Amino acid sequence: MISRQKTIGWILIVISAASIAYFLRVRLFSPGPVLEKKEWVQFIGSILIFMLGTANVRLAAMRARARLAQKQGFSEATPGEGT
pLDDT level of residue 19 (50, 70, 90 thresholds): very high
Amino acid at 2: I
Structural domain boundaries of the chain?
4-69
- Is residue 47 within 8 Å of 15, Cβ to Cβ? no
pLDDT level of residue 20 (50, 70, 90 thresholds): very high
pTM over 0.95: no
- Is residue 3 within 8 Å of 64, Cβ to Cβ? yes
- Is residue 12 within 8 Å of 50, Cβ to Cβ? yes
Four-CA torsion 78, 79, 81, 83, nearest 10 degrees: 140
3-state secondary structure at position 49: helix
